[in-house]
């Protein structure tokens, strides 16, 4: 019997990606993001979310895409290495139930994304959804930088 997983589906550059819902704390609309001087390009800045400082990562920049914010843009807030991090995505408006047998192994190469980030691919009708390994979105060095930025702004 295949295990059913719930995935948050989000878009980047008109491509659909999914991450396990258990990795997500909440999804919010972007608010004023304050830049952090001398941080990596993919760190968009910080926000104050109900009294808690959250480091914001722009996944478009992280994946080498042009960043832009519009009315559909969302921030997926999650816990990563004991630090709350927000990930800017183009849109995140769907929770999808996926049966384990619907998940195909990731292709050997998917342009623009490192293979170790991929958990698999779901094909539904005309849709192709790339499932990301949430823990692998950031390297150990990038997580350490985010933690350092968080300590500096606390």
CB count, 10 Å around CB of 19? 22
pTM: 0.86
Q: pLDDT, tens digit, for every residue of 8-56?
A: 999 998 889 999 999 899 999 988 899 988 888 889 999 999 999 999 9
Q: pLDDT, tens digit, for every residue of 135-153?
A: 778 888 888 888 887 776 6
133: its two tokens: 């390994």
Q: What is the pLDDT of residue 63?
A: 83
The residue extents of the domains of the chain are 4-153
Mean pLDDT of the chain: 85
Q: Which residues pair with 113 in a beta bridge?
A: 110
- Compute the half-sphere exposure of residue 47: CA atoms within 13 Å on the CB side of its CA: 20
Q: pLDDT, tens digit, for every residue of 63-90?
A: 888 877 788 899 999 988 778 899 999 9
- The domain made up of 4-153 has a fold known as OB fold (Dihydrolipoamide Acetyltransferase, E2P) (2.40.50)
Provide the pLDDT confidence category of residue 91 given band limits of 50, 70 and 90: very high
Q: What is the pLDDT of residue 109?
A: 63
- 71-74 LR contacts (CB < 8 Å, sep 24+): 72/11, 73/29, 73/30, 74/10, 74/27, 74/28, 74/29, 74/30
Residue 119 clears pLDDT 80, i.e. is over it: yes
């Amino acid at each position: 019997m295949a295990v059913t997983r719930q995935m948050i589906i989000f878009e980047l550059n008109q491509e659909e990606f999914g991450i396990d819902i258990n990795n997500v704390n909440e999804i919010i609309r972007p608010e004023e993001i304050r830049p952090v001087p001398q941080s990596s390009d993919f760190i968009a800045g910080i926000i104050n979310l109900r009294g808690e400082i959250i480091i914001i990562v722009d996944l478009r920049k992280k994946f080498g895409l042009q960043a832009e914010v519009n009315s559909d843009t969302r921030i997926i807030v999650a816990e990563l290495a004991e630090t709350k991090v927000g990930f800017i995505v183009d849109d995140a408006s769907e929770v999808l139930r996926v049966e384990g047998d619907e998940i195909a192994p990731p292709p050997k190469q998917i342009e623009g994304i490192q293979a170790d980030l991929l958990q698999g691919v779901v094909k539904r009708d005309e849709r192709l959804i790339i499932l990301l390994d949430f823990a692998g979105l950031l390297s150990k060095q990038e997580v350490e930088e985010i933690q350092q930025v968080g300590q500096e702004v606390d």
